[in-house]
Amino acid sequence: MELVEKGEMLPLMEEFYTIQGEGHHTGTAAYFIRVGGCDVGCHWCDVKESWNAETHPPTEITSIVDNAVKYANTIVITGGEPLTWNMDPLTQRLKERGLKTHIETSGAYPLTGVWDWICLSPKKMKLPKEEVYNAADELKVIVYNQHDFKFAEEQAAKVSESCELYLQPEWSRREKMMPEIVDYVMTHPKWKISLQTHKYLNIP
Ligand SMILES: C[S@@+](CC[C@H](N)C(=O)[O-])C[C@H]1O[C@@H](n2cnc3c(N)ncnc32)[C@H](O)[C@@H]1O
Ligand SMILES: Nc1nc2[nH]cc(C(=O)O)c2c(=O)[nH]1
Ligand code: SF4
Ligand SMILES: [Mg+2]
């Protein structure tokens, strides 16, 4: 549909008001907009229901923005992979209403949108675009096994000097990998630990 191509409508999976559970802004109240559609294919993805955009109704961004303003100053756009779509119209509208725009992205598609904060979580199967590395405010690498430490260092070499670096355990592997992550951060202190705190709190 043409309006979806322009980013005037987006396949909306869900919207919810919660606490940012991960990364730099952990603990901050935020309104989450989860946009459907992702073809990156992480086998451990915790929102596989988001992947098929066709199962999520094309929704007018004006109605998304009208909902968002009621809840919080900080809006987190996630998915699915939000950069599948043109994020310019949605983020411009959110900025016009005085809201902070944050994105959770794999960086696998061209960077669109006006962002106050970019969380880049790179994936081996579809590496980030150069412009997303350059613009990232935080790099959040998911650690599933030992190989991911090497991947994390390769990715850290591609982001800016000021980009914050986080290692986040893959949820199902957290018991196995946490001791290794703790050890890694103590020996490589440019990294910090990010946990999916919302899952411990049983909130969305
Ligand atoms: C579901 S993704 C959506 C945004 C975007 N597609 C991405 O991957 O960054 C949101 C965040 O959750 C992380 N994530 C997804 N599944 C996870 C899991 N099983 N354990 C830990 N983090 C996970 C992703 O790496 C990403 O940082
Ligand atoms: N509370 C909470 N924090 C989050 N941070 C990133 C999330 C995401 O799925 O993108 C997420 C999420 O799904 N819930
Ligand atoms: S890129 Fe994000 S939404 Fe897509 S499969 Fe991976 S974790 Fe899931
Ligand atoms: Mg999540």
- In short, whether 167's Cβ falls inside 6 Å of ligand 3 is no
Chain position carrying tokens 């103590």: 186
Residue 102 confidence (pLDDT): 99
* CATH code, residues 2-201: 3.20.20.70
Phi, psi (rounded to 5 degrees) for 130:
-50, -45
178: helix, strand or coil: helix
Return the best residue to mutate from 50, 78, 124 for the ligand 1 pocket (most ligand atoms within 8 A of CB): 78
Ligand 4 centroid vs 74 CA: distance in angstroms? 16
Residue 19 confidence (pLDDT): 98
Q: Say if residues 143 and 195 touch (Cβ distance below 8 Å).
A: no
Ligand 1 centroid vs 46 CA: distance in angstroms? 7
Q: What is the largest CA-CA distance in the chain?
A: 51
Q: Indicate the domain borders of the chain.
A: 2-201
Residue 1 confidence (pLDDT): 82
Q: Which long-range contacts (CB under 8 A, 24 or more apart) does 48-57 make?
A: 49/13, 50/13, 50/79, 50/80, 51/80, 53/11, 53/80, 53/84, 54/11, 56/11, 56/12, 56/13, 56/80, 57/11, 57/12
Whose atoms come closest to the Cα of 174: which ligand? 1
ipTM: 0.99
Atom of ligand 1 nearest to the CA of 120: 9
Distance CA 118, CA 78 (A): 11
Would you write out the chain's pLDDT as a tens digit for each of its 204 residues? Answer: 899 999 999 999 999 999 999 999 999 999 999 999 999 999 999 999 999 999 999 999 999 999 999 999 999 999 999 999 999 999 999 999 999 999 999 999 999 999 999 999 999 999 999 999 999 999 999 999 999 999 999 999 999 999 999 999 999 999 999 999 999 999 999 999 999 999 999 999
Residue 25 confidence (pLDDT): 98
Q: Please report which residue ranges of the chain form alpha helices under DSSP H.
A: 2-6, 61-68, 88-96, 130-135, 147-156, 174-187, 197-201
Q: Say if residues 167 and 188 touch (Cβ distance below 8 Å).
A: no
Chain position carrying tokens 């066709």: 54
DSSP-derived secondary structure letter, 80: S
**Backbone CA torsion sign across 87, 90, 96, 102:** negative
Ligand 4 centroid vs 7 CA: distance in angstroms? 23
